[in-house]
């Protein structure tokens, strides 16, 4: 297993494209530790793509940025394939064990444009909690076409099954059925209508001069 020649590989790194000489190994025993096997791009660039994608940058914008910054060309399809590495992390996030107690939990939904077959505005349900020590944490989130109490009920039950047993206070807008859903899931918790939503609703009913 010697004098088998070598072949050359071009690898795109954060320092630009480099060419490396790799010895041929008939027995398949040689493994290099400085560069990933069979990859044409280094892990640093891939982690940069994942970070940009998690911030909401589009695949086409990421491809243009990487090419301008590092001189490495990625097609939008390649960026999309790399970003799929986030899927197991997202699934693990939704299944993680939750703290057993939160002092306060905010429940609200915001509408964001999401790309399916077309761009549509869909409801992103968000639960943000404050622990007794003051630490703030995004407990969970989910996506649905519109806001309704059935999705909130399922989300609350999921939070309880993952370990969240006690909440002192829930704050939410005036979505119909929220108090009933909370009474079933967390009967000892208090409920308060979000004052920001109350003020918005009042302002929508009065003249501009009176707001």
Domain limits of the chain? 6-89, 96-203
Nearest-angstrom CA–CA distance, 38 and 68:
24
From first to last of its 211 residues, the chain has per-residue pLDDT tens of 778 888 887 776 667 777 888 888 888 777 777 666 656 555 677 778 878 877 777 778 888 887 777 676 777 777 777 778 778 888 999 999 999 999 999 999 998 887 766 778 889 999 999 999 999 999 999 998 888 899 999 999 999 999 999 999 999 988 889 999 999 999 999 999 988 888 988 999 999 898 8
On whether the pTM is more than 0.85, the answer is no
Span 96-203 CATH architecture: 2-Layer Sandwich (3.30)
Which burial class, exposed, middle or buried, applies to 49 when counting CB atoms under 10 A from its CB (0-12, 13-18, 19+)? buried
Nearest-angstrom CA–CA distance, 208 and 101:
43
Q: How many residues does the chain have?
A: 211
């Amino acid at each position: 297993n010697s004098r088998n020649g070598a072949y050359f590989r071009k690898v795109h790194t954060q320092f630009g494209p480099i060419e490396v000489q790799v010895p041929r190994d008939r027995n398949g025993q040689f493994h290099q530790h400085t560069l990933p096997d069979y990859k044409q791009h280094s892990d640093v660039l891939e982690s940069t793509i994942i970070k940009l994608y998690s911030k909401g940058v589009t695949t086409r914008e990421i491809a243009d940025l990487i090419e301008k910054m590092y001189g490495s060309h990625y097609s939008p399809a390649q960026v999309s394939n790399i970003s799929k590495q986030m899927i197991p992390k997202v699934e693990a996030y939704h299944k993680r064990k939750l703290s057993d107690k939160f002092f306060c939990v905010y429940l609200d939904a915001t509408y964001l444009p999401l790309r399916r077959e077309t761009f549509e505005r869909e409801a992103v349900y968000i639960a943000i909690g404050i622990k007794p020590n003051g630490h703030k944490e995004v407990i969970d989130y989910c996506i649905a076409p519109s806001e309704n109490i059935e999705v909130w009920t399922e989300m609350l039950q999921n939070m309880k099954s993952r370990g969240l047993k006690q909440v002192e206070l829930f704050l939410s807008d005036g979505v119909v059925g929220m108090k009933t859903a909370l009474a079933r899931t967390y009967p000892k918790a208090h409920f308060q209508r979000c004052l920001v939503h109350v003020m918005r609703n009042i302002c929508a009913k009065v003249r501009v001069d009176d707001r």
